[in-house]
Amino acid sequence: MLLWILIAILKSLVIPAVRWRRWRYEVHDEEIDFQYGVFIIRRTLVPMNRVQHVDTEQGPIYRHYKLSAVSISTAATIHQIPALTEEVASDLRDQIAVLAQTADEDD
């Protein structure tokens, strides 16, 4: 019984906090760099010329806290930057859209 309580505490409090501290993203002129993971750190580079469209999403919980997520779609997958303020998400969406359009024009 004590083991189940300890596992529940770890899964609900400790691991999400560690995940959040390890989650990073950077937007550069030619790529978007994602880094995440707790035990295994993953790094993903998404070239701007592969970005097809960028959206902001807001479910009921995010709406309550005035947060949004930015979804970046490529031909193969969708990458998401979660829990940004509405203003930051909107600015980031616009910035990535402009950079992706510029990258397409350079090809």
- The strand pairing partners of 57, in sequence order, are 69
In a domain? residue 11: no
Count of the separate structural domains present in the chain: 1
Residues spanned by the domain of 52: 25-106
Q: Other C-beta atoms within 10 Å of 102: how many?
A: 13
* CB 8, CB 16: distance < 8 Å: no
In a domain? residue 55: yes
**pTM to 2 decimal places:** 0.81
pLDDT of residue 107: 62
Instruction: List the chain pLDDT tens, one digit each, 107 residues.
Output: 889 988 888 888 887 777 777 889 999 999 999 999 888 889 999 999 999 999 999 999 999 999 999 999 999 999 999 999 999 999 999 999 999 988 767 66
In a domain? residue 53: yes
In a domain? residue 38: yes
Distance CA 88, CA 19 (A): 21
Distance CA 55, CA 5 (A): 39
Give the CATH number of the domain where residue 59 resides. Answer: 2.30.29.30
In a domain? residue 1: no
pLDDT of residue 6: 86
pLDDT of residue 64: 96
Cα separations (Å) of 80 from 3, 6, 69?
A: 34, 30, 7
* CB 48, CB 32: distance < 8 Å: yes
In a domain? residue 10: no
In a domain? residue 5: no
In a domain? residue 78: yes
